[in-house]
Amino acid sequence: MNGRLRVLVWALPPFIFLGAFYFLPLVRILVTALGPDRLVGGGQAVLPDWRSLATVLGFTTWQALVSTAASLVAGLPLAWWLRDHGSRLQSVARLLLTVPFVMPVVVTASAFVALMGPSGLLNRWLMGWFDLSVPPIQLMHTFGIIILAHVFYNTSVVVRIVSGFWSQQDRRLADAAGTLGATAWRTLVTVEAPLVLPAAVSSALLVFLFCFSSFGVVLILGGLRFSTLEVAIYRQAVSYFNLPAAAVLALVQLAVTFTAMSLYTRLQRLHAVPQKVEATEQFADDEPRTRGHWIRDGLGTVAALILVSPLAALTVQSFSVGTSEWNLVNYAGLLQGRADSAFLASPVEAVGNSVRNALATMVISLVLGIGMAYTLFLMPGRAGRWLDPVFLLPLGTSAVTLGLGYIISMGPLRTSPLLVPAAHALIASPLVLRVILPALRRLQPGLRQASGVLGATPRQTWWRVELPLILPACAVASVFAFAVSMGEFGASLLIARPEHPTMPLMIFGLLGRPGLANLGQAQAMSVVLMAVTGASMFALDRLPVAIREF
Amino acid sequence: MAYLEVTNLWKSFGDTESVLQGLSFAQERGEILCLLGASGCGKTTVLQILAGLMQADSGCVRLGGRDQDGVPVHARRIGYVFQDHVLFPHLSVRRNVEYGLRMLKWPSHQRGRRVHEMLELVDLAGYEERPVRGLSGGESQRVALARSLAPAPDLLLLDEPLSSVDQRLRGDLVTQLRSVLETQAITAVHVTHDLEEAYFMGDRVAFVHGGRVNRIDAPSALVANPATVACARYLGMGNIFALDTPEGQRLREWATSAAGTGGDRGGTNATHLLIRPRTVLRSGHGDIRQGLPCRGTVTSLRPKVNEVQVELRLTQPDLEGATIRLDLARTGIRRELQMVLEASARDQGARPWILGSGGVAWLTE
């Protein structure tokens, strides 16, 4: 098989899939928003006027800006603290800080309800201590709780990016400033901070992008009063079934996110300066530990604990009903699948749906991701450079927009049980690609040649040499895909059939219903989802070791 | 017809000058040929073309009388020891060595026997179940050798197999490599940039320069008579003077004036004169009568490990300013010393400083 044919074989599945499940829906959104048949959808579609569009866009931007600023304020000091690898407390904090980022949005929402809701842990405690009859903390459905939830999510983004970049900085630069007479503070301001500025800026841009397309947090915690573009798309599409209006909003959303994305990637390319890593490790451990270190460690750990406190509250609350603590009533409720439930499926069925979807997502996204990885790997020169961002596009497209696209474009496929996994795979496949491609590039080219001269055909070489060597990366990618699918909310909300709800959808439904029993069950299910996601991430933490050995 | 015939290979990468510019050589069965040359001269490219890992722009490779054009890599029956060994990291030593045998669909018991035999050959018996990740450089080199020899290839290609091995081990390994190849009576092309390695390993050495085989001969013959300027330079010989300058003319006269230095040959198509830096230099007594003298002053002495490099600035009329560097084993030479060189060893005892026999040689471009 010659080279070009090989590329084609790998490229075909991802191209067909992207075409059918990504570009076609987008084009249909475009046509619906701008085309002549926009007035046909529903017969009396009302396009959003400029004023209401400006209001939504304004709020979306404003809350994203505030969230970004707040995340930076919370994240930068933590990043500074975590820039070296000294104490055990730091590694614990680093682990804690990765948790929020990987949590599904419904889990976060339930966690904030569990901590700060009217019957949440804080209010229960305060009412108990001060003998109050009204919950003192009234944050539900306020601007504040939206921002808090965004900070919860995105602090870890800031910390990860900035401290990662910072830890690669050559510590001798700071030492040099010290020998030149700069105090620690002056060194930070004049040397270290300017050097990490690019990382801080790109993390801020990423956080802005996340908050701008925030959906679940605003929908669940913000209530009816607040509406980002994403929420507006959802309401137009589902509540009013005004698809043309939703499509117009989706177009605005796409324009903004793609602009921010391209800005982000350009910024990253600009500042991706390879730095010496060896120097860091040498200089990291030799500092004597002073009282300052202990104070720093203490403060940092407290901050990290505060950050994950909603999840702790969620866990505690899931084991209590009303005021009686430590029982399994909520979990038992999940198993029973209450008869008076307004849902078309029981919680156990929802778990089954989620797991089935996740497994299917895993398979589809692995096939796609491997195909994409080989396409980029075998594609020479410029074509490959063009394709790379194309494969990443789904990552920058909001889930709600995708869901809307499916509603508009899928026709008879709308009811297919494979539609949800397809959407999830689309979201997961760029991540899969990002894991597998480096593994592929790490393979010594000589291995393929060595296998060839020893008499192996290209296919035998792939099976006996390449596949075994990228297998650990495939395992990591599968876990990623699995976790993404388990937690995915936005797209599922628009396209999943009511009789086949996933776990996040069921949690969303339960949270929206009155009564402590519903709330308790939502929290119990959130804990299950949290455990699954957490376990996946824990497994991921182990797996890269196996990769590094090769 | 020779066993391996490589004829007129051309290869270029992109727009740059061709790496191979009509490279040819022929090799008999059982012969070990060393391709010697500077890095980037295209040695590895030749191996890649021989193995079918790369396509030549033009030219022909015949192995055992069979044109290799169009034969895919895996069907060529060629052993290849890569520069960095490229053992399969996910397989044990045994599985690495038997990889080629599996491709040939050997039954399991025969594979086991062959693997054992091969590991014994390279002195690694008992290493079967080890993971290849923990092997030292020398060990992995030997596993790579065993792996490529196991399927009994028609031709073995070795691409600087010792370059990633510790300098101290290299001497032992090269000896072992040579004896393994001899016992297997294998036809091998060994690529190296190291003169000593080529000298020891090769039945013949082909010096690759400018995309062609510049000089091919038995190792000792190559050193005795480098014959080309490039080869002499690569062998580390300095003091090469072009003959088409007035200075060169004068040196030609000086060298030919003494019989026994190959003066006749110098007259024909030689373009350069080589004065061997490392030569036996004896001091004589008395006047200079025969041949033309070559006077100079010692301008600097640079001690080396086993000798002293003497820089002699010529003061002879017509040769003023030219510098000859000589590696001399003797002491008693100091700066500012006036020396008179004689090119001939004839009539010893009568001359002040006499270059040993073969002290000068003629070269062509």
Q: Report which of A504, A541, A408 is spatially closest to residue A27, judged by C-alpha positions.
A: A408
Range of the domain at A210: 56-241+286-319
CB contact under 8 A, B73 and A453: yes
What Rg do the C-alpha atoms of chain A give, in angstroms? 25
Banded model confidence at residue B278, pLDDT cuts 50, 70, 90: low
Number of neighbouring beta carbons within 10 Å of residue A521 = 28
B53 to A453: CB separation less than 8 angstroms, yes or no = yes
Q: What CA–CA distance (Å, rounded) separates A424 from A432?
A: 12
Owner of token pair 């060298």: B255
- Contact state of A450 with B82 under an 8 Å Cβ cutoff: yes
User: How far does CA B333 lie from the centroid of its chain?
Assistant: 33
Residues of B in contact with A453 (CB under 8 A): 51-53, 73-74, 76, 78-80, 148
The mean pLDDT of B178-206, rounded to a whole number, is 91
- Name the phi and psi angles at B92, rounded to 5: -75, 175
Give how far A550 is from chain B: nearest CA, Å: 6
Q: Which among B226, B302, B294, B54 has a CA at the least distance from the CA of B157?
A: B54
Within-domain flag for A81: yes
Q: How many CB pairs under 8 A join A and B?
A: 65
On whether any CB of chain A is under 8 Å from the CB of B78, the answer is yes
Chain B partners within 8 Å of A446 (Cβ): 82, 84, 86
A303 occurs within a structural domain: yes
Percentage of chain B with pLDDT > 70?
A: 85
| Distance between start and end Cα atoms, chain B | 30
Q: How far is CA B284 from CA B308, B349, B353, in A?
A: 20, 5, 6
Interface test with chain B among A2, A447, A454, by most B beta carbons within 10 Å: A454
| Nearest residue in chain B measured CA to CA from A467 | B90
Closest by CA position to A110, among listed A318, A394, A291: A318
The answer to whether B99 contacts A549, with C-beta atoms less than 8 Å apart, is: no
Instruction: Confirm whether A481 is domain-assigned.
Output: no
Amino acid identity for residue B191 in this structure: V
Spatial contact of A137 and A123, defined as CB atoms under 8 Å apart: yes
Are B86 and A444 an interchain contact pair (Cβ–Cβ within 8 Å)?
A: yes
Q: Is A358 contained in some domain? A: no
Closest Cβ opposite residue A456 in set B52, B80, B103 = B103
pLDDT tens across A325-381, in order? 778 888 888 887 654 556 677 888 899 999 999 999 999 999 999 999 999 888 877
Q: What is the reported pLDDT for A398?
A: 84
Q: What is the pLDDT of residues A190-225, one digit of tens each?
A: 888 888 888 899 899 889 988 998 999 999 998 888
φ/ψ (deg, to 5) at B20: -110, 130
Report chain A residues touching chain B, CB-CB < 8 A.
444, 446-447, 449-457, 460, 464-465, 468-469, 549-550
Question: Following DSSP, what letter does each residue of A119-135 receive, concatenated?
Answer: TSHHHHHHHHHHT-SS-
In a domain, A331, yes or no: no
Query: Mutating which of B54, B76, B98, B99 best tests the A interface, going by the most A Cβ atoms within 10 A?
Result: B99
- In terms of average pLDDT, the best of A123-137, A536-550, B347-361 is A123-137
Contact A358, A482 (CB under 8 A): yes
Beta strands in B176-277 (DSSP E): 188-192, 204-209, 212-217, 240-242, 272-275
Q: Which of A455, A457, A465 sits opposite B88 (nearest CB)?
A: A465
Q: What is the DSSP code (8-state) at residue A21?
A: I
Task: Kindly indicate the confidence band of residue A40, based on its pLDDT and cuts at 50, 70 and 90.
Answer: very low
Asked whether residue A176 is assigned to any structural domain, the reply reads: yes
**Tally of CB atoms within 10 A around A277:** 11
Q: Which range (A288-292, A395-399, B152-156, B340-344) has the least confidence?
A: B340-344
Residue A324, classified by CB atoms within 10 Å of its CB into exposed (0-12), middle (13-18) or buried (19+), is exposed
A199 contacts: CB under 8 Å, gap ≥ 6 = A161, A162, A164, A165, A166, A271
Stretch A163-174: mean pLDDT: 80
The total domain count for chain A is: 1
Cβ contact B344:B261 at 8 Å: yes
Q: Is B140 on the interface with A (CB under 8 A)?
A: no
Using an 8 Å CB-CB cutoff, list chain B residues near A443. none
DSSP letter (8 states) at residue A36: G
Name chain A contacts of B100, Cβ cutoff 8 Å. Answer: 454-455
Share of chain A above pLDDT 90, in %: 31
Burial of A550 (0-12, 13-18, 19+ CB in 10 A): middle
Instruction: Say if A76 falls within a structural domain.
Output: yes
Q: What is the DSSP string of A104-170?
A: -HHHHHHHHHHHHSTTSHHHHHHHHHHT-SS-S---TTSHHHHHHHHHHHHHHHHHHHHHHHHHTS-
pLDDT at A550: 37
Q: Is residue A41 part of a domain?
A: no
Residue in A with minimal Cα distance to B97:
A454
- Shortest alpha-carbon distance between residue A440 and chain B (Å): 14
Tell me the backbone φ, ψ of residue B6, rounded to 5 degrees.
-110, 120
Rounded to a whole number of angstroms, the distance from the CA of B102 to the nearest CA of chain A is 9
Q: Which residue of B has its CA nearest to A471?
A: B90
Residues of B in contact with A455 (CB under 8 A): 74-75, 77, 100, 103-104, 151
> Is residue A67 scored above 90 in pLDDT?
yes
CB contact under 8 A, B89 and A550: yes
To the nearest whole angstrom, how far is the Cα of B153 from the nearest Cα of chain A? 9
Which of B74, B82, B99 has the CB atom closest to A446's CB atom? B82
Packing angle, helices A291-318 and A121-130, rounded to 10: 90
B96 vs A325: which has the higher pLDDT: B96
pLDDT of the residue at A276:
39
CA distance B210 to chain A (A): 26
pLDDT confidence of residue A272: 55
Which CATH number do you get for residue A143? 1.10.3720.10
- Sketch out chain B's domains with CATH numbers: 4-226 (3.40.50.300), 240-363 (2.40.50.470)
Q: For the stretch A427-461, what's the b/e string if a residue is b when 16 or more beta carbons lie within 10 angstroms of its beta carbon?
A: bbbbbbbbbbbebbeebbebbbbbbbbbbbbbebb
**Is residue A277 very low, low, confident or very high in pLDDT (cuts 50, 70, 90)?**
very low
Q: Which residues of B touch A457 (CB under 8 A)?
A: 72, 74
B100 and A452 within 8 Å at the Cβ level: the answer is no
Task: Answer whether B86 sits within 8 Å of A447, measured CB to CB.
Answer: yes
Average pLDDT of the residues in B2-29: 90
- Whether residue A182 contacts residue A99, with contact meaning beta carbons closer than 8 Å, is answered with no
Q: Which of A362-366, B259-263, B283-287 has the lowest mean pLDDT?
A: B259-263
B73 reaches A (C-beta below 8 A): yes
Q: Which of B189, B258, B221 is nearest to B36 (CA)?
A: B189
Task: Note whether B88 contacts A453, CB cutoff 8 Å.
Answer: no
Closest among B343, B332, B276, B273 to B308, alpha carbons compared: B332
Amino acid A342: pLDDT: 64
- Say whether residue B79 is in contact with chain A using an 8 A CB cutoff: yes
Q: Which residues of A touch B143 (CB under 8 A)?
A: none
Strand, helix or coil for residue B203: coil
Q: Which site among B44, B86, B105 would you substitute to test the A interface, given the most A Cβ atoms closer than 10 Å to its Cβ?
A: B86
Residue A62 has pLDDT above 50, yes or no: yes
Residues of chain B found within 8 Å of residue A450, distances taken between Cβ atoms? 80, 82, 86, 88, 147
**From the list B80, B88, B104, which residue is nearest A453 (CB)?**
B80
Residue B82 to residue A460, Cβ atoms within 8 A: no
Interface residue B55 vs chain A (CB under 8 A): no
Nearest to B230 by CA among B206, B252, B254, B251: B206
Tokens 């010594």 belong to residue: A444
Given an 8 Å threshold on Cβ–Cβ distance, is A454 in contact with B100? Answer: yes
Determine contact: B147 vs chain A, CB below 8 A.
yes
Question: Using a CB-CB distance cutoff of 8 angstroms, which residues of chain A are in contact with residue B148?
Answer: 453-454
Average of per-residue pLDDT across A104-125: 90
Give the three-state DSSP class for B35: strand
The least confident of A18-32, B83-97, B293-307 is: B293-307
Q: Confirm if A347 and A528 have CB atoms less than 8 A apart.
A: no
Query: Which residues of chain B make contact with A449, given a CB cutoff of 8 A?
Result: 51, 53, 73, 80, 82, 86
Tell me the residue type at B30. G
